[in-house]
Structure 1
Amino acid sequence: MFAGSKSHVGATRRAGLLGVAITGLALTLAGCASGPTEPPPPARPQFTSPIPPDRLVGRWGLAAYHRPDDATRTENQARAQCSNPYVITAGTNGGVMMYLADDNKLTEVVSKQVAGGPTYIGPPDDPAGGERDRQVVRFDGNVLVLKWLDPEVARRYGTMVYVRCS
């Protein structure tokens, strides 16, 4: 009888240890699921692209002005620059390749607009109207006028006038 009791006690002990192990594993897994996690990546800004990239791709004469009175004269100067055009090419992610202020490498940019507001051209991961954007002052397919939003950049570079080269 003593031998049988010992076997029964051992089985009970093993069952109890198994229950403790399963409970511990369940709590550990629950702790992993509810513990600190990495934050989700920031949401990409939501905007529409009112100017399709293919309307910007091409060769453009480029000039700039600081005073609005010089806009017409500057447009003619930009047209004269077609002998040494500024070339806008298609980007790999649906935008176009242009230079940002004070950057000597091309960056992919897109046209962007939020809820019927102004149209901007700038990096796709920046919110519409961000400091690296340019506001579209005018675009008719042949003339593109862009104003830098960063006041310090605008002071140095002025309002950019692009005239499509034929």
Structure 2
Amino acid sequence: MPQSSIRPVRADVASGKRRSLGAIAAVTCAGLLLAACATTEAPPPPPPPGPPQYTSPIPASSLVGRYGLAAYHRPEDAGRTEAQARAQCSNPYIITAGPNGGVMMYLADDPKLTEVVSKAAGGPTYIGPPEDAAGDVRDRQVLRWDGHVLVLKWVDPEVNKRYGTMVYVRCN
């Protein structure tokens, strides 16, 4: 009788080992399947391209201030227009610092302020939205900047025809 009682114990031990081995094999297979799934996923998409690279020849801090503003269409009116802009300091055009390092100004035909930066790409200096390349149609070309007078010409010929060359004279 003792032998018969031993056999069921051995059978239980053997079947327990088989269950343990089976459980280990199942866990291992599940782990391998999960690892295989993780390695077959597509890589994340690359980040979107950043803004165009250019130099900023006019620091934004030097543009912040109050300005008299006037415009001309004929080059011979430039001197007279500068005097008219100076007279507009009683109702100044205000350029403030932008949230991302530029300055806040109005674009053509847009009633809301937009952050713009000075930019150049090996040629003339422009002022316009930072996401646009230097010389884009929304830009203005800097014709003069001496720290006191800023003269800007719209790049877009149609806009320039309507608005003319803008003269900003810093108010004291």
Question: Is the pair's TM-score, using the shorter chain for normalization, greater than 0.5?
Answer: yes
Alpha-carbon offset, residue 138 of structure 1: 0.9
Alpha-carbon offset, residue 20 of structure 1: 1.8
Q: Which residue of 1 aligns with 2:118?
A: 111
Which residues of structure 1 form unaligned runs of 5+? none
Matched residue type, 1:47:
Y
Q: Which residue of 2 aligns with 1:82?
A: 89
Q: Aligned to 1:81, what secondary structure does the other structure show?
A: helix
1:89 and 1:113 mapped to 2: Cα distance? 21
Q: Which residue of 1 aligns with 2:132?
A: 126
Tell me the TM-score normalised to structure 1 length: 0.84
Alpha-carbon offset, residue 135 of structure 1: 1.0
1:27 equivalent in alignment to 2:33: no
Q: Which residue of 1 aligns with 2:4?
A: none
Residues matched between the structures, number: 163
1:134 and 1:16 mapped to 2: Cα distance? 71
1:55 equivalent in alignment to 2:62: yes
Q: Which residue of 2 aligns with 1:150?
A: 156
Which of 125, 138, 146 is matched with 2:144 structurally? Answer: 138
Tell me the TM-score normalised to structure 2 length: 0.81
Alpha-carbon offset, residue 6 of structure 1: 4.4
Percent identity of equivalent pairs: 65
1:8 and 1:60 mapped to 2: Cα distance? 89
Q: Aligned to 1:75, what secondary structure does the other structure show?
A: helix
Q: Which residue of 1 aligns with 2:3?
A: none
Structure of greater Rg: 2
Matched residue type, 2:134:
A
2:86 and 2:61 mapped to 1: Cα distance? 20
Q: RMSD across aligned C-alpha pairs, in angstroms?
A: 2.2
Map 1:68-79 onto structure 2 (within 5 A). 68-79=75-86
Matched residue type, 1:113:
A
CA displacement, residues 114-151 of structure 1 (integer Å, 9 cap, x when unaligned): 2x321111122222222221111111112111111122
1:88 and 1:164 mapped to 2: Cα distance? 10
